[in-house]
Structure 1
C-alpha cells in the first residue's frame, strides 16, 4: 500500500471511529451522570493514547517522509486555515434555516466560545510543555495540533447541537475537522500523532462544556426571537455579527 493510500485509509478510519462512538454515546442517559461522562471520554481518550504511542516513533517519521516524497516535497495549501471554521458557519446557517437545535443561538455561542478558549489554552500549554519539533523544523510547537484541536472543538459543538434533529448535519463537521488534520500533515506542519492528540483535546473539552452547561445557564436573548447571529470571515479572522430581524 502506498503512503498516499494509507493516509486515505487512516482518515476514513478516524472518521468512522468518530461517527461510531457518536452512536455509542446516544445510548447514555439524558441527564448528566458519571456513567455518561465516562462514555464521552472513551473516544478522545483512545485518540490521545494513539497519539502518544505514535509520537516520535519510527513509523511516524517514515510515514511523514514517504508522504512528502509522494507529494513532491512542495505541497502547500492554506485551505486548512479556513475549513476548520466550517462547522461554525454550518451551525448558524442551520439556525437561520430553521433546523431544530439543542440550544438557543446565544447558548450555542456561549458553549462555542468556552470550548474554543479552553481548547486553545490547553493546546498552547501542551505545546510549550512537550516542546516537540514540527516535521518542517519551523519551531518546536508540534504536539498537539492547534488547527486540529480547534476544528474538532467546532465540529463537536455542531454535533452536540444537531445530533437529535439532523444526523447528517451533526456529523458533517467531523468531515471538515478530519480534512483539516490531514492537510496539516500534508503541509508538513504536523506529525500524525499531533493530529490524533489535537482531535482528542478538541473533542473532550467540548464534551465537558456540554456535560456541565447546566451549571452556567444565562441567556438575555431567550425571549427575543428577532435577534440572531451571522458568521463572517475577514482579513484572516472569523467573526460573528448580531443581526436584528424586522
Structure 2
C-alpha cells in the first residue's frame, strides 16, 4: 500500500513541477487545486478494495462545496480584483483543504503534510493573484478541513481526533492492534 500511495503522490508532484516553475502563480494554484482531489481519488481507487474511501472522499468534497456555494450565494463580498461578488469563502481553498484532510485522515501524516503544504500554496496563490483576501481563504480552508474531519475514517492504523465539548478539550486516540 505505501509503495502505491508514494508512487501516486510522486507522480502528481512531478506533473506539477513544470506548471509551478513556469512562474504563473494563479495557474499553478488552479492546477494544484484540481490535482489534490484527483490524487486522493486515485490513491483510494488503486489502494482500497472496498471503495469505502471513495465514498468518504465524495461526501467530503460534496459537503464542502455545498457549504461554500451556500455562503457565496448569501454573502455578497467583492473580489479584490473586482471580477465578481463571490469572494467569500474561497472554493479553491475549501476543495484543496478537504482533499488534504482526507489524505491525512485516511493515510496518515506522511502523506498529509505534503498535501497540506500543497493546499497552503493554493490558498496563497488565491491571495497573491488578488482573487481573495486572507479571510476568504481561511474560511474556505476551515470548511474543507471540517468536512474532511467529519466524513473521513482512517484506512488503517491509528486515529487521532481532537475533542472540544462543553469547555473540555483534548485528543482521542484509537487504533487497530
**1:126/1:89 CA distance change after superposition, 3 Å:** closer
> What is the TM-score of this pair, normalised by structure 1?
0.48
**1:170 deviation in Å?**
2.4
CA contact (8 A) 2:29 2:122 kept: yes
* Counterpart in the other structure of 2:36: 87
- Are the counterparts in 1 of residues 64 and 143 from structure 2 also a CA contact under 8 Å? yes
- Report the Cα offset of residue 129 of structure 1: 0.8
Question: 1:89 and 1:130, CA in 2 relative to 1: closer, same or farther beyond 3 A?
Answer: closer
Q: Is the 8 A contact 1:145 1:194 kept in 2?
A: yes
**Once the 2 structures are TM-superposed, how far is the Cα of residue 97 of structure 1 from its aligned partner?**
8.0
Number of equivalences = 130
How is 1:14-33 mapped onto 2 (pairs within 5 angstroms)? none
Equivalences for 1:159-238 in 2 at 5 Å? 159-163=104-108, 167-210=109-152
SS of residue in 2 equivalent to 1:85 = helix
Out of 84, 87, 92, the position equivalent to 1:139 is 84
**Corresponding residue for residue 157 of structure 2:** none
Q: Which runs of 5+ in 2 are unaligned?
A: 1-23, 154-177
Find out whether 1:149 has 2:94 as its counterpart.
yes
Q: What is the rounded CA distance, in whole Å, between the counterparts of 2:100 and 2:117 in structure 1?
A: 8
Determine the C-alpha separation between the residues in 2 that align with 1:115 and 1:92.
12
Sort the Cα spacing of 1:77 and 1:105 in 2 relative to 1 into closer, same or farther, 3 A.
Answer: farther
Between Structure 1 and Structure 2, whose CA radius of gyration is higher? 1
Residue 26 of structure 2 contacts residue 129 of structure 2 at CA under 8 Å; is this kept in 1?
Answer: yes
Contact 2:60 2:148 in 1 (8 A): yes
Shift of 1:206: 1.5
Q: What are structure 1's unaligned runs of at least 5 residues?
A: 1-74, 212-246
In angstroms, what is the RMSD of aligned CA positions? 2.2
- Return the TM-score normalized by structure 2: 0.66
Offset at residue 169 of structure 1 (A): 1.4
Match of 1:125 in 2: 70
Q: State the 1:93 CA deviation.
A: 5.7
The question of whether the paired residues in 2 share the 8 Å contact of 1:86 and 1:176 is answered with no
The 1:118–1:94 alpha-carbon spacing in structure 2 relative to 1, beyond 3 Å, is closer
Relative CO higher for 1 or 2, CA cutoff 8 Å, sep ≥ 6?
1
Cα 1:105/1:145, change in 2 over 3 Å: farther
Task: Verify the 8 A CA contact 2:33 2:119 in the aligned structure 1.
Answer: yes
Partner of 2:163: none
